[in-house]
A and B are shown apart, each in its own frame.
Chain A
């Protein structure tokens, strides 16, 4: 509607850079390229190399593009990156003949590095990061769970897995010893059902 009196609202400035639009463009680009590689791969046959492309794009998306709409933060990002990169490396190893370099060496090294990084951030900025404790704890529990996988023979127990489990256990105990009260209170909030 043509309005004469527009003085009560400011002249809106156009955003120079629209991140939502950029993300949309990248997402569509990824979808199209994934589809093309799938078709080409099926047409020429051979190994399913299109999975490398999709996996690579997924890693790029989760590392650089995706962000939470509520409670985004560095702890969440580190957990997300560590999980996505680990899955991608597992895929690459599987595709390249399953020699076990990913599951036995590289993935546990990435995981324990992430545990160390998460612990440093959590303890240094405890007050600020307490609210992200769920991500931190889920990751520590996954680290401990790896030992269980080792005992039942799903993975081969090697030194990186042992380091990962030890780091996870140490961090878990340290948080409980140092901040038990605050963590219990935070968990009451996180698990409320009202």
Chain B
């Protein structure tokens, strides 16, 4: 496993997409701060050019990070099915478990690094370019991140599962979107009629993320569960993640590699 992880690091460090993804996301967030700073410069009465507004924009838009997680998984998976590169590993006795879990570990590691760099660039540029509203928004960002991380790990596990199952990237992305977006929405609608489905819909990661309420004045975060909220978010995220990890691996273990 260690050798597989090392080889994957060697590869992704030489892939342009690895850097491009982080660079583009960082530049987009940086540019939002630059725009706020420029507007403030031309209009002194503009009240949003501060770190509170800028950072709140990030943690209230974590749904968008779900989509980015699918991209992260794709970058690391790197079209191994269409490149037919798995056969070089399997033919040499690298187990399918090593490949499957190795990819998942690298995807999670890359996602964490990308998250820290992108958020880091955004926060640093906010404090450099905008009015400082104090450290409380950072605390809010930390609280939301703490609840959202297991949900984001779930998205990576789902995307990884479908990248291994499907031959094409398009199919994998569509199936992932179906599970992380369409399923919560559809079961949410059905939940209006059937109580059991509503309970099921409530614990789906997309709905758990949507359930987070932000008390911007009080600088507190309210989760779906009022007691043991963070713990329950982690349990829900991890359990659902395990389901898709097992599903993907079970399929890949039997799949013919071409």
- Real binding pair: no
A interface vs B, CB < 8 Å? none
B interface vs A, CB < 8 Å? none
